[in-house]
Amino acid sequence: MKLQDLDIIVTAPPAPGWGGRYWILVKVTTDTGITGWGEVYAASVSPDVMQHVIRDVFDRHMAGENPENIELMFRRAYSAGFTQRPDLTVMGAFSGLEIACWDILGKDRDRPVHALIGGRMNDRIRAYTYLYPQEDHSLPTFWASPDMAAEAAAAMVAKGYTAVKFDPAGPYTIRGGHMPSMHDISLSTAFCKAIRDAVGDNADLLFGTHGQFSTAGAIRLGQAIAPYNPLWYEEPIPPDTPAELGKIAQAVPIPIATGERLTTKTEFLAALQNGAEILQPALGRSGGIWETKKIAAIAEAHNAQIAPHLYAGPIEWAANVQLAASIPNILMAETIETPFHNGLIKNTLTVENGYIPVPTAPGLGIEVDEDLARAHPYTGDGLHLEMQEDPIGYHDINTFAGGAPVKT
């Protein structure tokens, strides 16, 4: 069995579009006619350019290879062009293609992917959700309203979720770490208080940032929200300063989580060595399923846990679940429930009372609606996520509407 053909679909989720502006889906077919699906989570270049990167990685390192030879293909891509260091774009391309290889292998052997990477450790995976506006919530008001956030949190707990994530501390900018304004600190504590009051002990609070603070700013904000006992403090500083994480971990009594922008075991090891206690790999970027299995093993040796990140489509979600089923140190997995997410995989992966039942079907355990994906092509010129150029202000609240805000 050899890898033979590659097709790429760039699909755009319709409004409200949670999960980014577009998802890059890869369809790989072998010379024996088996098809595997993967998803590339990479946002550094346009999807048009990224398609060329994906094809180059496939043609150069994978075409004609036995899909079993994951390690060999990884080393080829990792070493391409005399690099042998984490390359976000190349590893993003490889990650999606690697996921497709595992889908192929599972289908060829009539086994779910987790059975091929250590077997089933967990029958179900604890899920968490970001707080999105409810039907009666207006945008952009929702993003700066503790009361609306509390209502959304209560609704998610009523559905069975035991953890909710929110990020009211203002936008990320291209300028590196900044000091939060007092308005943003006050709004963050108000969000924590309102949500804690709404959910009580029935759900963990997951406080998100997006690497936007200076070390001192992250400490100030972390100490302000600590009385509400969040389960984690997500990516408090930019990902290019891992050595600074330790200062925050020492000063703030909230576990540090990070990882959505990291790739390969090398970058995740640096985060662990500097105080991260929860790793959040996005499998469409981190190196794929096998590389992230190694990341989970390194985390296990540091007594740390894994919480796969998801701001993408449901194929990456399916890969996250297969990995999570096979490891002992899974904490939880992010989920996004929209009609388009569900429809794209024909409801073959679900959340039931706050948990994701691990599928038993071969491969990733999903069925992809290729026609639906092709019916929603991406025609915009933005990236999957984008950062703000302007600095934040200090005279009022800095409202954060996400890196791919919904047009109102």
Residue 408 pLDDT greater than 90, yes or no: no
Predicted pLDDT at 117: 98
Residue 375, in any domain of the structure: no
Residue range 282-332, pLDDT digits in tens: 999 999 999 999 999 999 999 999 999 999 999 999 999 999 999 999 999
Query: Is there a contact between 222 and 233 (Cβ–Cβ < 8 Å)?
Result: yes
Residue 160, in any domain of the structure: yes
Residue 203 pLDDT greater than 80, yes or no: yes
Say if pTM beats, i.e. exceeds, 0.85. yes
**CB count in 10 Å sphere of residue 141:** 12
Query: Is there a contact between 26 and 35 (Cβ–Cβ < 8 Å)?
Result: no
Residue 373, in any domain of the structure: no
Q: Is 118 left (phi over 0), alpha (psi -120 to 50) or beta?
A: left
| Upper half-sphere CA count for residue 98 (Cβ side, 13 Å) | 31
- Can you list the alpha helix ranges (DSSP code H) found in 215-369? 215-225, 245-251, 264-273, 289-301, 314-326, 339-344
Residue 342, in any domain of the structure: yes
Residue 34, in any domain of the structure: no
Phi, psi (degrees; rounded to nearest 5) at 191: -60, -50
Predicted pLDDT at 403: 75
Residue 407 pLDDT greater than 90, yes or no: no
Average the pLDDT over 118-132 and give the result: 98
Residue range 30-76, pLDDT digits in tens: 999 999 999 999 779 999 999 999 999 999 999 999 999 999 999 99
- As for how many domains the chain has, the answer is 1
Residue 229, in any domain of the structure: yes
**Mean pLDDT computed over every residue of the chain:** 96
Predicted pLDDT at 399: 86
Average the pLDDT over 2-6 and give the result: 98
Predicted pLDDT at 16: 78
Query: Is there a contact between 172 and 364 (Cβ–Cβ < 8 Å)?
Result: no
Give 199's pLDDT tier (boundaries 50, 70, 90).
very high
Average the pLDDT over 241-254 and give the result: 97
Predicted pLDDT at 15: 83
Residue 406 pLDDT greater than 80, yes or no: no
Q: Which CATH number does the domain housing residue 291 bear?
A: 3.20.20.120
Residues spanned by the domain of 320: 116-363
Residue 98, in any domain of the structure: no
Residue 75, in any domain of the structure: no
